[in-house]
Amino acid sequence: MGHWYDKLGVAIIELSAPLSAGDTVKFKHGDQEFQQAINSMQVEHQAVQSAKPGDSVGVKTDQKVREGTVVYKIS
Protein backbone atom coordinates (compact mmCIF):
# COMPACT_ATOMS: atom_id res chain seq x y z
CA MET A 1 0.00 0.00 0.00
CA GLY A 2 1.30 3.41 -0.90
CA HIS A 3 -0.24 5.95 1.49
CA TRP A 4 -3.14 6.55 3.90
CA TYR A 5 -5.12 9.81 4.13
CA ASP A 6 -6.53 9.75 7.66
CA LYS A 7 -9.04 12.62 7.40
CA LEU A 8 -10.51 11.22 4.19
CA GLY A 9 -10.30 7.53 5.12
CA VAL A 10 -8.63 6.79 1.80
CA ALA A 11 -5.84 4.33 1.05
CA ILE A 12 -3.62 4.72 -2.02
CA ILE A 13 -2.82 1.31 -3.50
CA GLU A 14 -0.18 0.68 -6.15
CA LEU A 15 -1.61 -2.16 -8.25
CA SER A 16 0.31 -5.23 -9.36
CA ALA A 17 -2.88 -6.82 -10.75
CA PRO A 18 -6.12 -5.47 -12.27
CA LEU A 19 -8.76 -4.20 -9.84
CA SER A 20 -12.41 -3.38 -10.48
CA ALA A 21 -15.25 -1.88 -8.50
CA GLY A 22 -17.06 -4.78 -6.83
CA ASP A 23 -13.86 -6.78 -6.18
CA THR A 24 -13.11 -7.75 -2.59
CA VAL A 25 -9.64 -7.18 -1.13
CA LYS A 26 -7.90 -8.10 2.11
CA PHE A 27 -5.76 -5.53 3.94
CA LYS A 28 -3.08 -7.18 6.13
CA HIS A 29 -0.48 -5.56 8.40
CA GLY A 30 1.06 -7.83 11.03
CA ASP A 31 -1.77 -9.40 13.05
CA GLN A 32 -4.32 -6.87 11.82
CA GLU A 33 -6.38 -7.72 8.78
CA PHE A 34 -9.79 -6.98 7.34
CA GLN A 35 -11.67 -7.55 4.10
CA GLN A 36 -13.61 -5.00 2.15
CA ALA A 37 -15.47 -4.73 -1.13
CA ILE A 38 -14.22 -1.96 -3.39
CA ASN A 39 -17.28 0.21 -3.97
CA SER A 40 -15.50 3.02 -5.78
CA MET A 41 -12.00 4.08 -6.67
CA GLN A 42 -10.15 6.94 -8.28
CA VAL A 43 -7.10 7.26 -10.49
CA GLU A 44 -5.59 10.77 -10.56
CA HIS A 45 -8.74 12.20 -8.88
CA GLN A 46 -11.04 10.72 -11.54
CA ALA A 47 -13.62 8.06 -10.68
CA VAL A 48 -12.96 4.78 -12.52
CA GLN A 49 -14.63 1.36 -12.59
CA SER A 50 -11.38 -0.55 -13.12
CA ALA A 51 -7.63 -0.03 -13.08
CA LYS A 52 -4.63 -1.92 -14.41
CA PRO A 53 -1.29 -3.04 -12.99
CA GLY A 54 1.00 -0.05 -12.44
CA ASP A 55 -1.88 2.32 -11.60
CA SER A 56 -2.10 3.98 -8.18
CA VAL A 57 -5.72 3.99 -7.03
CA GLY A 58 -7.42 5.72 -4.13
CA VAL A 59 -10.03 3.64 -2.32
CA LYS A 60 -12.22 4.57 0.63
CA THR A 61 -11.80 2.13 3.51
CA ASP A 62 -13.95 1.34 6.54
CA GLN A 63 -10.92 0.93 8.79
CA LYS A 64 -7.62 2.74 9.19
CA VAL A 65 -4.85 1.36 6.99
CA ARG A 66 -1.22 1.79 8.03
CA GLU A 67 1.81 2.34 5.81
CA GLY A 68 3.29 -1.00 4.77
CA THR A 69 -0.06 -2.80 4.66
CA VAL A 70 -0.21 -5.56 2.04
CA VAL A 71 -3.37 -5.69 -0.05
CA TYR A 72 -4.59 -8.94 -1.62
CA LYS A 73 -7.39 -9.29 -4.16
CA ILE A 74 -9.81 -11.99 -3.02
CA SER A 75 -12.45 -11.89 -5.76
- Fold of the domain spanning 3-73: Elongation Factor Tu (Ef-tu); domain 3 (2.40.30)
pLDDT of 8: 85
Determine the pLDDT at residue 1.
Answer: 65
Record the pTM: 0.85
The pLDDT, as a whole number, for residue 25 is 96
Compute the distance between CA of residue 46 and CA of residue 28 in angstroms, rounded to an integer.
26
> What are 12-71's pLDDT values in tens digits?
999 999 999 999 999 999 999 999 999 999 999 999 999 999 999 999 999 999 888 999
Which residues neighbour 33 within 8 Å (Cβ) at sequence distance 6 or greater? 26, 27
Domain extents for the chain?
3-73
| CA–CA distances in Å: residue 43 to residues 8, 19, 22, 52 | 16, 12, 16, 10
